[in-house]
Chains A and B, each alone.
Chain A
Amino acid sequence: MVITSGKLRGNELVKHITALSAAGVKAIQLREKKLQAGDLLLITKTAISKIGNSDTKLIVNERLDIAILSRAAGVHSTSNGIENRYIRKFAPRMLSGKSVHSVNEAVKAEKDGYDYVLFGPVYKTPAKVKYGKPQGLKKLGEVCSSVKIPVFAVGGINPQRIKKCINAGAYGVAVIREFADTKNIKKAVKGFRKELGSL
């Protein structure tokens, strides 16, 4: 899973999503907190029409209204984000994910009915400094063994660290930085594909 960096605008962002999809990325989470809702809806709709029949699932951060209107595959709820019961009420078939930072939060997310969780930061990462120290592989392992739903490891993930996360029980990894540079997608994809098999 690739999470967008929030640094690209308009058509550049659409192009980036299209390129990620073409490279075989299976899930892209649009985390664009600075975009106004109107722009975000337009970008999401345009990107979805461009990636069309590909295997890529587009997941909108936090805004259930935009996820529904753009016919996105999923919606992702941040720490204080939208509760799953509301997602189910208005979009029963939509994928729903939740960011968690502890075993308790992961167990609660599973109980609430989310389809998957993002756990992190596993490693040190500038994007998530506000969540404090990296949680490490041991904690990741604890989270993975306490829930049955897929756990994606997030935070400082690079190709060299993937196997360690998977061995700890992670279903997959979520990456921001390594895919943020539009000029480097091919190289990043190659590195990740080698470790993961598919993206």
Chain B
Amino acid sequence: MKKIGRLYLITDTAIQKKYSHYQIAQFAVKGGADVIQLRDKTLSTSELIQTAIKIAALCRKHNVTFLVNDRVDVALVANADGVHLGKEDIPIKEARKLLGKNKIIGGTAHSLAEAKKCEHEGADYIGYGHIYPTKTKYKPEKPKGTEQLKLIVSKTGIPVIAIGGISPLNIKEVMATGVHGAAVVGSVLKSSNPLSTLKLLRKNIYDRKK
């Protein structure tokens, strides 16, 4: 089943060296992440496949959605739930040919036009950002902010996941836009206690209406 949850964590071993992809996945399932995306641009294919197979097993056990960044072949081999594709990666339509309709394909958008394009090409969700200033990726453009996000959410027919500079401090403001969910990287991976940060993020997402 295609399940795209609200709390989305990207494993990143470039912005920090303390935790491996698998260690991140371990505290992610413990801390209540709904989606884990394996993102690594430097590992060899064989190492990436081994890591993906391990994380896929962990995610299956905990009913967490597991996506692979960029590498459709690795997602296939590891039987992940799907892929997340950037604008320079394999086009969504092409990836769909390999993955079939039951796997999740996420697209990346930095504008309404790009969001519409992803939707049109058959993406299951869109990652949109960056919402706030972030150090995880080099971003020459200005942050989009929550007003822009609200606009994207209202004009798109598939779930939008907000990304970029999201932390426990601002996640309520993000969710108030009506966005489906939020992706986090640095605020969790560089926090002194990633597990408690994740739990707090989860609480702030799901307890809003109480």
Contacts and interface: CB of A to CB of B under 8 A. Distances in A.
Contacts of A63: 71, 73
B46 interface: yes
A39 interface: yes
Contacts of B91: 38, 41
Contact of B77 (A62, A78, A79, A90): A90
Interface string B55-95: 00000000000000011110011000000000111110011
B76 A65 contact: yes
A83 B49 contact: yes
A36 B45 contact: no
Interface size class on chain A is 20 to 34
A41 B45 contact: no
B46 A37 contact: no
Q: Per DSSP, are chain B's interface residues mostly helix, strand or loop, or mixed? A: helix
A65 B73 contact: yes
A82 interface: yes
A83 B46 contact: yes
A107 to B, nearest CB: 18
Interface string A56-71: 0000001111101100
A68 B98 contact: yes
Q: Which of B46, B89, B95 has the most CB of A within 10 A?
A: B46
B193 interface: no
A167 interface: no
Interface residues of B, number: 20
Contacts of B88: 36-39
A43 to B, nearest CB: 13
A69 B49 CA distance: 19
Given A64-B73, A65-B72, A65-B73, A41 B90 contact: yes
Nearest to A45: B94
Contacts of A82: 45-46, 49, 73, 77
B207 interface: no
Nearest to A63: B73
Interface of B: 44-47, 49, 70-73, 76-77, 87-91, 94-95, 97-98
Interface of A: 36-39, 41, 62-66, 68-69, 77-83, 86, 89-90
